[in-house]
Amino acid sequence: MRTFNVARLLFALFLFVSFSSAWPWPPSIQNLEGLIHRRADSDTKSDTSPAETGKSQAAKTGDAAKTAAKTAAASATAAPTSQRASNTKSGTTKAAKTGAAKTKAAATKTQSVDPRLPPGGINMITPSALAPTSYYKVGDHVTFAWNYTSLSVKPSKVDVYISCATNSATYTISNNATFEPTAKMVWDSKPEASGTAPLLVGTYTLVIHDASKDITAVPQAGHLGAYDQFTFGMYTPQPYTPLSANSPHQAPGQQINSTSSHILPIMPTAAAAPNGWAPAMKAFLKRVLANGEDTKSAIILLETEFPRMAGKVSAGWVDKIRRGEV
């Protein structure tokens, strides 16, 4: 009985297998088979050993570390560059603002000058502008002192020199002198100190102007204009000449008679007033003589002050004025 049951079971199993192999599979089962095969292939390809997996992960970790290091270095380099750029930009902005402020201040200062104001000028202190014409010997130290008038914009530097129209020469006293409200300078008029053309007997002009401008520039309101209003005279003392160099034994007031050896007294002659003489000339001579000038020097000064009297004034006339006889 048991044998019969086993035979029946085997026969049924045989029939089932035969039937299953002969029956066609539906399309869904076939697709599932392809998916199963592809999954198997993918699993086969990804099937690696733990050692290989560790090496791959280490390589990936090393690459990540290198990338992080490069990123940190780039950030460290970029930070100072960015800071320098920021500082440069800040400095440029500050300089631009400062320059703009200075330009604005200069423009405001220029605009603040009333165009109706007169140009700045010079007021002579030594010698006084109200005093008569001054005369100096060539070789003397001549002192000039002055202050400024109507000056709204002060120059930083000034040029001071002497001009002579007779020989068209200039004699520098100071170039780029620092501006001072009250200035004083001394001119050494010795020929070797002047360093240019020799000083001649004649009239000279003191010139003062802003060193930053040309002397021919048009004067502006409130600004220092070129000053050339003060004139003075220079002269050269004449050497003393004896009355008679050929008669060392001749006494004053005597002359030798050409026809005999007798000494005859000199008869004083009255000196007549020169043609064109004026009271102002007498006052001028008295002042010059009071300063200790000799007769010849006094005549030179007189002819310099009054050119129309050149060659008309005698020594006798000057001596009479010295003695108060005129």
Average pLDDT over residues 86-106: 51
Dihedral (CA of 68, 73, 78, 80) sign: positive
- Look up residue 173 and give its two tokens: 């006293």
Nearest Cα to Cα of residue 296 among 276, 279, 318: 318
pLDDT beyond 50 at 173: yes
Of the chain, the end-to-end C-alpha distance in Å amounts to: 196
Name every residue whose Cβ is closer than 8 Å to that of residue 288 and which is 6 or more positions away in sequence.
135, 297, 298, 301, 302
Distance in angstroms (rounded) separating the CA atoms of residues 122 and 146: 7
How many Å apart are CA 121 and CA 118, to the nearest integer? 9
pLDDT, one tens digit per residue, over 100-159 is 555 444 444 454 889 999 999 999 999 987 877 888 988 889 999 999 999 999 999 999
pLDDT in tens, 201-251: 889 999 999 999 999 999 999 999 999 999 999 988 766 555 554 444 444
User: Quick one: pLDDT at residue 144?
Assistant: 96
Decide if pLDDT at 323 tops 80.
yes
